Structure 1
Amino acid sequence: MAETQKPLLIKRYASRRLYNTETSDYVTLEDISGFIRKGREVQIIDLKSGDDLTRQYLLQIVAEHESKGESVLPTNVLNDLVRSYTTGVHSVVPQFLAASFDMLRDSQSKMVQNLTKVPNPMATVPGFDAMRKQQEAFLKTIMGGVPGWSGKADAANSEHEPAAATKESDELRDIKAQLAELQKKLSKL
């Protein structure tokens, strides 16, 4: 996976344009966000001063998603973050957040492993296999953008059943369409 690669180096020019050193072209914040969603680490450096601007740009990406109504962090968490800077506890908060996200990734990975574990005592329940496949497709759709989650357990099972993989991809498309419809309805509320 991309985790073993060195960070993608992005240089910021005096004009504030961002330059991808691997592909030799200019990129936007949305491009950088896409790299990160795919699991790639990035490092953004000011060309003139050599300062590391990565944190500033990552915070800007989060702020842009928040301004579009894509709530990344609940208001109470944002309030607590601001308080942590004013109370001097800020040295604990980053470590706590990092540990929390690590635990989230680990638990998601374990949940997928448990769904695909063989033998499973629930496998004797009528309709369990269809339900398991639906849950796996749903998790793959939801978690696909989360760094550190690959869904490889599902891919390993579908290699032996090409027809099942096609059926699952159709189911995945249906679930994505249903999720998109739900998101439209929620945004109207």
Structure 2
Amino acid sequence: MRGLGERPFPFNPETAVIKISSIHENRPGAPAPLSFFLQKVFCMQEFAPAFPHEVSIRIPMHMVDLGNVIYHSRYLDLYHEARDHYLDAADCSYREIMEKNYHLAVADTHIQFKRPIRYLETAIIRTRIAWIRNRSLCVVQEMTKDVNGTLQLCNRAEFTLVCIGPEFKAIRIPDTFIQRLALFQTSA
């Protein structure tokens, strides 16, 4: 199982070419049905681990449990809200996505809880794109809080989002969307 923030697979075009040729050499006389592998390797954009967007959210009463800390499932709501702000800042508003009749569905989620955040504390959520493929992308988010002038990491999440069409099947992410996200992410 890979950890948070790790690449889905090691990506180095030079090494990938070596691996592809060695796979092909191990299959003498066989056709080269490696187009799927090539597509997976060469159509993925990875980004530096910079967080180009940050949003602050004061924690309301309806998000906390009897222990006065954010109820664990509410972290997903906060991260979703921060992703919406990120998309707006990247000129890829979710309203525009829905108007074009596609959606970004959460396919996989990993959250590491480190410290609690309490009622009326301000959560600072930083968002970045880790990688984009043809039909999916990975969003990494960190939630921190200010403790005596020092930001403390409270939890970290990684979401794999899949672009789906009206039939709820995976479709290609529109190129304009990818370009806007890549431009915003690399401008950090």
- Relative to the length of structure 1, the TM-score reads 0.23
Name the TM-score, length of structure 2 as normaliser: 0.23
Q: Which has the larger radius of gyration?
A: 1
Q: Which has the higher helix share?
A: 1
Q: Which has the higher contact order (CA 8 A, sep 6+)?
A: 2
